[in-house]
Structure 1
Amino acid sequence: MKVVGVVNFVRYQANHLYQNPQRTLAILEVFWDFSRRYFFALAFWSLFAAKIQHLYAHLYSLPLEKFLLWGPSFFFQDVAILLLFRIFVKKWTGLIAAFNAILVLPASLIVSGMAAANFSVYVFTGAEIHWRQAKTFTGNAAALRTLLSGLTGFLIGEALLVAAALFTARPIHSFSGGVLHVLAWPFRWLTARLRPCVEPWLQRFQKRNAKNTSLPDPRTYEQIHLEDDYLNDSAGEEEDEEGDYLLDPMGNSRAHEHEFSTQEQRRRTDRMLPRVLVLAFVFLAATLRIVRPSDPMYLYLSGTLPLASFFEGGHRNTPVDTAGLPRSEYRYLDKSTSQGTPPSWDWLSGEPGAGFEDWKTMSNESLHYSPEKNPMHISNLQQPVLESIRSALSDGSVKIKHVVLLKLESARADTFPIRKDSFLYDRIAETHKDKEIPADVEKIIANLTRTAEHLTGFDSGFKHDDNLYSNPKAYGGISARNAYTTSTYTLKSLTGTLCGVTPLVADFNREWEYDIYQPCLPHIFETLSHQKGIAAEPNTTDDFTQWPWHSIWMQSVTDSYDNQDKLTPVLGYQEKLTKEIIEKPGAKHYPVKTKEVNYYGYIDGELRDYIRDAIDDAERDHERLFLTHLTGTTHHPWGLPNDTYASLLGSTKNHNEDLNRYLNAVGYQDTWLADILAILEEKGVRDETLLVMAGDHGLSLPNDGGITPYDNPHVGSFAVPIVLAHPKLPALEVSGPVNSNQIVPSILDLLIESKSIGEESIQPTKDILSLYEGQSLLRPLSQEKDGMQNWQYTVMNTGGSWLAVRSGAKPQFRLVIPLVNDVEWRFSDLNADPNELAPVSRFSLADLATVIRKEYDDEALRWLYDAAYVTNWWVEQNWKKYGYHPKDNDDD
C-alpha cells in the first residue's frame, strides 16, 4: 500500500506540473538558483585540475624555455570556456534560467567525470586517456569490467572535485564575476559613447512599434529581467551573493557582502589595478596564442577537456613527422616496395586454403609480401645451423610430433626466471629493512620461478637444496636472452607470434578485418595436412610424420574483449575453449572448480583436464596436435585462488602491494608450467613435444608502477621471454636481439632440420619458411647487410599512437616514435641507462635531436635520423601489406 501511495503521489505531482508549466518553471528556477554556483565551481576545478595534470604529464616533453614562453597560452581555451559558463550561471530568470540549467548541469557533470577518469587512469597506469580510443572500451562486457577496475580512483577523483566545488562555490563564482566585469569595461565605455547617437533612433522606433502592437494579456504577462549587469554600468542592484570582487576572493566575503552595496563592490573591480591585471593577462595570453607557432604539440597541450574527444593527434601526410630530418642515405627507399606477385609453387595446386588467399588469382593485381623486393629484408637461412644443436638435429634424436605454444600474459623477461642481484631482486630488497631480504623471504623468491629456470637453463644465482628437477639442470632448447615482443597489446602480439608478422599499425585488434599478409601456423599445418603422403582417414600408421595436424585454442578467460572471438578463426584454429565454453553446463568438465580471479575469467589451471583430453584425442586419432594456450592469471589485478599471497616485499608503499601480487601470480604461472610438463610426461609425449613459450608483453610495474602497458613506452613493457624447449635438444642461449615474429620461422626450421615432417612436406615447408621477415633462431643472426640494419619494430599498445624501434646492429639504442601529434618522441641508450631511468622525451624530432647532439655522440644522432627515416617508409608498407587505408578509418 505504501508503494502504491508513493507511485500515486509521484504521478499526481507529475500531472500537476504538466498542467501548470509555470509552476514547473518556478521549481526549476529555485533549483537552479540554489545550485548554479556549485556547478560552475565544479566545472572550474575540473578544467583546471585536468589541465594542470595534463601539463605535468608532459613537463619534460618541451624545452624549458618553450614551456615558459608559451605556457600562458596553454590555458586560453580553458579560461574562454569558463567565462562562457560564468555568463550562463548568472542569475537569470524564467525560460532563460531553464535553458541555462539544461545546458550547464550535464556539461559540468561530463567535464568532472572526464577529469576524474583521467586522474584515475594516470595514477594507476602513468598514462593519460586518449579520448579518441575511449569508445572501444564500451563495446562489450569484458571492456566495461576493465574500466570498472579503476572505479576506486575515479570515485576518489570525483569526490575531490565535488568537495572543492562545495567549499569554494561562492568565492569562485564571485571572482569570475569580477573578471567578467573588468573584461566588459571596454564595451561599457564604448556603449556610453554611442548611446547619445543611437537613443533618438531607438525612441522613434519604439513609438512607432507601440502604435501597431497591442498590450499583452495581463493574466499571462510575465516580465523577465534580462539586464546585462556587466555591459550596463547603471544596472539595477543584484543580490549580495552576485557581487563580484577580484583581489580578495577568499577573505571576508560575507563581511563584504553586508558591508558594501553592489555598486560599491563593482567600484572595486573598476579600479585601475584590477583592470590592469586582468586585461594584461588576457592581452598576454591572446597575443601569445596568436603568435605561437602552429605546431600540433602546442595545440595538444592547449586542448581543454571538453574538446579532447574531438581533437587528439590525428593523421598526417606521412606516418612519421620527419620535419627537420637531414638528407638520408636511405632515401632510395622512397622508390621501393615490399610487395610483389605471389611465388608460384607446384605443390600449391587447386584451390588455396585459408591463409593463402593471395595465391587464388595469381594475376599481376594480386600482391603479396615479397622478401626479394623488400629492401629491408635480411635473411639468415643461408647460414648453417648453430653448431651446438646441429648434431642433435641431424642424428634423429629430436622428434617433434606435437607443438604446444604458450602465450604468457604480462611475462617480463627478468621474471623468467627471477635472478639474484638483478634489477628486480634489488627492487624487492629496497622494500626491506636495510635493503636486505630476510632469509625466509629469499627462499620463497628462489623457488618462485624454478620451472622457468629449468626450461631456459639460465642461472638464477640462487642455491637450491632439493632435487626438484633432476640433472641435466636445463630442460633443453633455445632461449632468447634479449627478446622483444611484436606488440605490447595482447591481441596484436598474438598475431605477431602466430603469423610471423609485425602487427597492423592501427588502434586495437583490427588485423582480423584485413589481410594478415602471411599464413599463420594453423594455416601452415592445415596446408601440410593436405600434402601427398599424409595418411587418409581412418589413420592407422604409427609414423607421426604422416599424420594430419589439428589446431586448438585454449584460454580460461573471455575471448569477447575487442573482437578476439573473431580473430581466432581468422588465425586458422579449428577448435577453441574459452571461459564462455568451459562454464556452460554442457562442457565436458563442468562445473569450473574455482571462482573468477580477475575481470576476464578463471585461473589457468581450469584447463588442466582439457589439455589432457586434447593430447588423448590426438594420440587416439593419430593427429599431430598444435595447441595454443593464452594464460590469464598474470593479468591485473593478479588474483589467485583463495587470495593466498606470500609477503615478498617489506612495504606496501609506492605500488609495492601491486608488485607483491604480480610476483605471486608469476609464481602461480611457474607452477602451472610445471603442471603442463607433468601432463606431457603423464601422457608419454614429453620427448616428442616442442614447447614454445613467449610473453605477450612485459610490465613496467617494478620500474614506474605501471599496471598495464597501455601507452607505456618503458622498456619493461617490451622485453619478454622467448623459449623453444625440447628435452632432446641441448640448452642454447641466444644473446643477440630478437623479436617474437621470429618464432614462426624458427618452428618451421626446427621441423625441417629435425626431419619431423614427411619427405613430401619438406619442400612446401621450405617455400613457406622463405616468406617470413623474421630470422630463424637456429642459425647465426645477421644484424646488418649492405648498409641496411636489421630493424625490429614493436607496435605499442593500443597500436595507432606509438611505434618502438631498435636495430640488431646497434641494440643499445631505442626509439619510440609518435604516429599522432599528441605523444612524444622518446630516446634511450640502454648501455648507459639499462632501466630507462632518464630517457629523453620531446614533442618534435628537431628538439630531440638537439638534446641527443648535446648529450650523446654522433653515432647516436645518425642512428636517430636513420631510424626515423626508415620507419616512415616501413609504416606505409605495413599499411599496404594489410590493405589498410588510414584515411578511410579516421572516424573508426
Structure 2
Amino acid sequence: MASRSLFVVPSLIPFTYSLLVVSCLTSKFLHLALHWRSVSLVHFIIFLPTLFFWDILVLVIVDKDRVLTYGASAIQIGFFWETGSQVEWGASSSFLRDPAAMKILFSGTKTQRLEYPFPMLTAPDRWQSPSGYSPGLTPGNHSSLVRPEWLPENPPSGFDRWLTDVQRHERIKNGEKDKPNQCMREHKTYNAVTDSTKISNLQEAVYPVLKDAFNKNAIQIEHIVMLVLESTRKEVFPMKEGSFLYDTIVYSHDEDARDTIIDKLAILTPTAQMLTRDFATNSTGDKMRFDNDDVKWVDRIPLDMGGINVKGALTASSLTLKSLLALHCGVMPLPVDMLEESLLEVYQPCLPHILSLFNTKKLADKGKHANNESQLVRERPWKSVFIQSSTDSYDRQSNLTQQLGFDQNIVKETIEDPSATHYPPKTKVLNYFGYSEDEIESYMKDLVFEAAENKTRLFLSHLTLTTHHPWAYPSTFKDENYFGRDRWNHRDMNSYLNTVRYGDAWLGKILGYLEQAGIANRTLVVIVGDHGQAFDEDDGLQGTFENSHISNFRVPLLFRHAHLPHMDIEANVTTGMNILPTVLDMLVESKSLNEADIEIARSLIHEYQGQSLLRPFISRDDRIRRRVWNIGIINAGGSLVAAMSADLPYRLIVPITRHGHGMNGKRDSETLFEYRFTHTLVDPHEQSPLSQWIFTDLRKAVREEYGEEAEDWIEEARKMVQWWVVEQKRIWNYS
C-alpha cells in the first residue's frame, strides 16, 4: 500500500477564509476583554449581537467570492498588524472614497444650524460692543458678515468667506472653485461676531516682561519657521523626571541599574531641554546644562531669554492632516472620517494666505527707506514653503497643501524627481511614507541660506516623519536600549524613544543652520506636536486610531525667539486655535510689518476663534459666564470626540456616530464606543477612567466619585459636543 503523507496542505481559499474568520473573531474578543468592566451583564447580552453584525455580514459576502476573500483577509489582518485595532466595516466607505487612504489598509494597514444649547449665555445683556479693531460680539444674533475695509474688492485666495454670491458664482463658472454640493441651498460662513463660543483676550495687556522687550524694539521677526513634530507627546519634550512614561522606563530596571538609566534619559532630549529651559536631573541630583561639546547644538542665549513655553497644550486632532490644517489656519477640523476638508473651502485665511496678502501691500518705491534697514525688511516679500520627507499622496495631502496657500511644496515625490536639486536620494526609504529627515537636510539648508542671501522673508513649515510608526531610523543612527525587564514587550516604545532622540538632534541641526545663515536672531520658531502617541504601556491600547487616551493629545508648544524673554505659561489650550493669533499679535507688537500690513493684522486677528498667548489666557470669562472649550477629534475623525474646558480639570469622551450614539444619551446598536470620563488632576495619566455605554450611567458614576460639579460639567460638555458637531459641519458647508 502506498504511504500517505501525514501533512495535508489546505487549498488557499479555505485557508484564507479561515484566517479571516479567526482574525475577525479574535479582534472582537480582544475588544470585549478591554471593555468588559464597563458594561453590565444585562447590557452585554442585549447588545452582543450588534458587536458582530458587520463582521458576520462581511464573512457571508466574501464566502461567495475568492477575490473578496483575499481582499477582506488582507485588510483585516494587515490593519490589526499595523494599528493594533479592529476594522470597523460599517465605516469602510470613508476609506473606500479615498485611494490614498487605501494604502494604509494594504500596506500592512493600520447644514443645518442647531441652536446653541445655553441661550442664557448669549442673551443681549452678554453682548460686547465694537471697540477699536474689535468688531464686538453678538452671539445668537445671526447677523450678516461684514466685509473688512482692507480687503481687496476681489478677495484673494484664502479669503473666500468674504466673497459675494456673484463673485462665488463667477469663480465656480470660471473653474477657480469646485462646484458646491447640489444639496446645498446656500453657502454658510463663519462669523466671529456671532460665534457663541468665542472668548477673546485681545483687550488684555501684553505680559509686562514681553511688552518691555517689544517697546525696546529688541524683537525683530524677519522669518517664521514652524516645526511640526510627528507623534511627539509632551512627556518626551523634554524627557525628564516626574512623568508616567519616565517612571515606567526607570522602574523596568532593577534598583542597582537605575542610576545608569536615569543618566541615559537625562541626555535623551538635550535640544528640547535647552529650548524649554526645563532641564532633566541626573543620577547625582544635578540639573543638566549642556554647555560643552557633549551635544552637537548648544543654545548660547541667556537662560532668561528664548521665548514662550506653553504647558497644557492639546492638539485639535490625533489625525496628522487635520492637525496640520488647524495649526496653519486657526480653524477646528471637521468631525468626520479622514480629510474631507480637502474638498471644501477652509473657513479662515491660513497663514500663507495672509502673508501673500501682505505681499500685495508692499511699497513699489523703496527708495525713501534706503537708509532704514528695518523698514526695508518690512517691505520685502514673503515666500511660504512646506517641506517633509514623506509622501503627500496619503489622504489628499497634496490638495491640503495647495489649500493652505504655500508657494512651494517639497515632499517625497520632489526628492525622487530626476530634476530635483539634490537628486538622486542619498538614503533608503525609511518606512511606508518616505525617507528620514537626513534626505531633506540639503533642501532645508538651501531654503534657509537662500532666504538670507536673497533678502526674502521666509515662512518655512516642516513636518517631521521619523517619530511616526513603525519608528524606524537610519542605519547610521546608533540605537539605545532604555528598558530593563521585559524588553520584548517594550520594543515599540523603545524604538519610539530612539526616534525621539533622533528627532531632537534633527531639531538642533535646523536651529544650527539658522545661526550659520545669520538669521537666528530675526526668526520666530514655532515648535509644536501634531499629536501624541499612546502605547500599550499607557492603557493597553497602542496607536491613535479610535484611541481616546490623553497621551495622544498632550503635545509640546513653544514660541522661540532669541530676544524674547523666557516665560512658562500654564494653560489648557488647543494648539491649532491659538498659534495663528499669537503669531499675528507678535508681528504687530514687534513692528515687524509695514503700516498697511499692521492694519490688516490688527483687524484680522479678531476674526479667529483662539486667543493670543502674548496676553493672559482667559479660560473662563465671568463677564459673560462662558468657558473656553477644547475639543479634540480622535483619529479617524467621525466616531469619537474629546471634550475639555480650560477652567476645570475634567475630560469627557463622547461617541458621535451618524445615527446618534452619544448625541441622545442612548446606546446605539451600531457603535462600539463608550462614554469615558477622567479627572485630570486626580488621574493625570488616565489610569482609572470611568466608562459607561449609557450616559445616564456615567453621570451617576461621576457624581458618586467626584461630586455634583463634575456631574453638571459632563452634562454641559455633552450638550456642547452635540451642538459643536453640527456647527462645524455648517461652517464647513459639509453635507
| Secondary structure at 1:476 match in 2 | strand
Counterpart CA distance in 2 for 1:127 and 1:490 is: 18
Counterpart CA distance in 2 for 1:525 and 1:477 is: 22
| Conserved 8 A contact 1:39-1:104 | no
Tell me what 1:734 maps to. Answer: 569
Q: Which amino acid aligns with 1:711?
A: E
Are 1:849 and 2:715 an aligned pair? Answer: no
User: Aligned runs of 1:505-544 on 2, under 5 Å?
Assistant: 505-533=335-363, 542=373, 543-544=376-377
Counterpart CA distance in 2 for 1:65 and 1:318 is: 38
Q: TM-score, normalised by structure 2?
A: 0.82
| Conserved 8 A contact 2:309-2:557 | yes
Tell me what 1:863 maps to. Answer: 713
| Conserved 8 A contact 1:556-1:604 | yes
| Secondary structure at 2:217 match in 1 | coil
Q: Which amino acid aligns with 2:86?
A: E
The correspondence for 1:376, drawn from 197, 201, 209, is 197
| Secondary structure at 1:831 match in 2 | coil
| Secondary structure at 1:813 match in 2 | strand
Tell me what 1:421 maps to. Answer: 242
| Conserved 8 A contact 1:358-1:366 | no
| Conserved 8 A contact 2:223-2:459 | yes
| Conserved 8 A contact 1:655-1:705 | no
| Secondary structure at 2:564 match in 1 | coil
- Structure 1: 5+ residue stretches without partners: 1-30, 86-102, 155-314, 321-326, 886-892
| Conserved 8 A contact 2:532-2:554 | yes
Q: Deviations over 1:170-229 (max 9, x none)?
A: xxxxxxxxxxxxxxxxxxxxxxxxxxxxxxxxxxxxxxxxxxxxxxxxxxxxxxxxxxxx
CA shift for structure 1 position 123? 6.8
Counterpart CA distance in 2 for 1:594 and 1:133 is: 37
Q: Deviations over 1:830-863 (max 9, x none)?
A: 1111110121222221222122122220000000
| Conserved 8 A contact 2:189-2:347 | yes
The correspondence for 1:56, drawn from 33, 38, 59, is 33
CA shift for structure 1 position 547? 0.9
Tell me what 1:432 maps to. Answer: 253
Counterpart CA distance in 1 for 2:268 and 2:637 is: 33
Q: Deviations over 1:758-804 (max 9, x none)?
A: 12211111111010100110000111122211111111111111111
The correspondence for 1:346, drawn from 137, 149, 166, is 149
Greater shift, 106-115 or 692-701, is seen at: 106-115
Q: For the structure 1 residues 841 and 660, does the alpha-carbon distance in structure 2 shift closer, same or farther, using more than 3 Å as the test?
A: same
CA shift for structure 1 position 655? 4.1
| Conserved 8 A contact 1:476-1:731 | yes
Counterpart CA distance in 2 for 1:600 and 1:723 is: 27
Are 1:803 and 2:624 an aligned pair? Answer: no
Q: Deviations over 1:382-438 (max 9, x none)?
A: 000012211111210100000001111001011110112322211111322248535
Q: TM-score, normalised by structure 1?
A: 0.68
| Secondary structure at 2:430 match in 1 | coil
Q: For the structure 1 residues 683 and 855, does the alpha-carbon distance in structure 2 shift closer, same or farther, using more than 3 Å as the test?
A: same
Q: For the structure 1 residues 466 and 807, does the alpha-carbon distance in structure 2 shift closer, same or farther, using more than 3 Å as the test?
A: closer
| Secondary structure at 2:458 match in 1 | strand
User: Aligned runs of 1:503-652 on 2, under 5 Å?
Assistant: 503-533=333-363, 542=373, 543-642=376-475, 644-652=478-486
| Secondary structure at 2:524 match in 1 | strand
Counterpart CA distance in 1 for 2:252 and 2:66 is: 42
User: Aligned runs of 1:103-182 on 2, under 5 Å?
Assistant: 105-106=63-64, 114=72, 118=76, 121=79, 125-134=83-92, 143=101, 146-147=104-105, 150=108
Tell me what 2:510 maps to. Answer: 676
Greater shift, 331-340 or 484-493, is seen at: 331-340
Q: For the structure 1 residues 111 and 38, does the alpha-carbon distance in structure 2 shift closer, same or farther, using more than 3 Å as the test?
A: closer
Q: For the structure 1 residues 709 and 475, does the alpha-carbon distance in structure 2 shift closer, same or farther, using more than 3 Å as the test?
A: farther
Q: Deviations over 1:43-92 (max 9, x none)?
A: 8756654553443344234234432x53776699699989x98xxxxxxx
Counterpart CA distance in 2 for 1:748 and 1:518 is: 14
Q: Deviations over 1:126-177 (max 9, x none)?
A: 53322244456567886455445547xx9xxxxxxxxxxxxxxxxxxxxxxx
Are 1:460 and 2:280 an aligned pair? Answer: yes
Counterpart CA distance in 2 for 1:747 and 1:72 is: 51
Counterpart CA distance in 1 for 2:600 and 2:698 is: 47
| Conserved 8 A contact 1:453-1:474 | no
Tell me what 1:163 maps to. Answer: none
Counterpart CA distance in 2 for 1:561 and 1:847 is: 40
Are 1:444 and 2:264 an aligned pair? Answer: yes
The correspondence for 2:329, drawn from 457, 482, 499, is 499
| Secondary structure at 2:192 match in 1 | coil
Q: For the structure 1 residues 615 and 700, does the alpha-carbon distance in structure 2 shift closer, same or farther, using more than 3 Å as the test?
A: same
Counterpart CA distance in 2 for 1:616 and 1:416 is: 28
Q: For the structure 1 residues 400 and 130, does the alpha-carbon distance in structure 2 shift closer, same or farther, using more than 3 Å as the test?
A: same
| Conserved 8 A contact 2:323-2:530 | yes
Q: Which amino acid aligns with 1:455?
A: L
Greater shift, 738-747 or 124-133, is seen at: 124-133
Higher-Rg member (1/2):
1
Greater shift, 398-407 or 329-338, is seen at: 329-338
Q: For the structure 1 residues 318 and 416, does the alpha-carbon distance in structure 2 shift closer, same or farther, using more than 3 Å as the test?
A: same
| Conserved 8 A contact 1:126-1:712 | no
The correspondence for 1:839, drawn from 674, 680, 689, is 689
| Secondary structure at 1:805 match in 2 | strand
Q: Deviations over 1:249-288 (max 9, x none)?
A: xxxxxxxxxxxxxxxxxxxxxxxxxxxxxxxxxxxxxxxx
Q: Deviations over 1:611-640 (max 9, x none)?
A: 222233333433211011111111111111
Counterpart CA distance in 2 for 1:37 and 1:627 is: 54
Counterpart CA distance in 1 for 2:12 and 2:20 is: 13
Q: Which amino acid aligns with 2:468?
A: H
The correspondence for 1:660, drawn from 482, 494, 498, is 494
Tell me what 2:588 maps to. Answer: 752
Q: For the structure 1 residues 654 and 481, does the alpha-carbon distance in structure 2 shift closer, same or farther, using more than 3 Å as the test?
A: farther
| Conserved 8 A contact 1:455-1:725 | yes
Counterpart CA distance in 1 for 2:450 and 2:76 is: 50
Are 1:872 and 2:692 an aligned pair? Answer: no
Tell me what 1:487 maps to. Answer: 317
The correspondence for 1:399, drawn from 220, 240, 247, is 220
| Conserved 8 A contact 1:457-1:475 | no
| Percent sequence identity over aligned pairs | 34
Q: For the structure 1 residues 341 and 512, does the alpha-carbon distance in structure 2 shift closer, same or farther, using more than 3 Å as the test?
A: farther
The correspondence for 1:818, drawn from 655, 664, 689, is 655
| Conserved 8 A contact 1:790-1:809 | yes
Between Structure 1 and Structure 2, which shows a larger proportion of helix residues?
1
| Secondary structure at 1:727 match in 2 | strand
Q: Which amino acid aligns with 1:464?
A: M
| Secondary structure at 1:368 match in 2 | coil
| Conserved 8 A contact 2:160-2:347 | no
Q: Deviations over 1:566-619 (max 9, x none)?
A: 110110011111111112221111222211111111111322222222233333
| Conserved 8 A contact 1:692-1:724 | yes
CA shift for structure 1 position 732? 0.7
Tell me what 1:217 maps to. Answer: none
Q: For the structure 1 residues 866 and 759, does the alpha-carbon distance in structure 2 shift closer, same or farther, using more than 3 Å as the test?
A: same
Q: For the structure 1 residues 456 and 340, does the alpha-carbon distance in structure 2 shift closer, same or farther, using more than 3 Å as the test?
A: farther
Are 1:773 and 2:601 an aligned pair? Answer: no
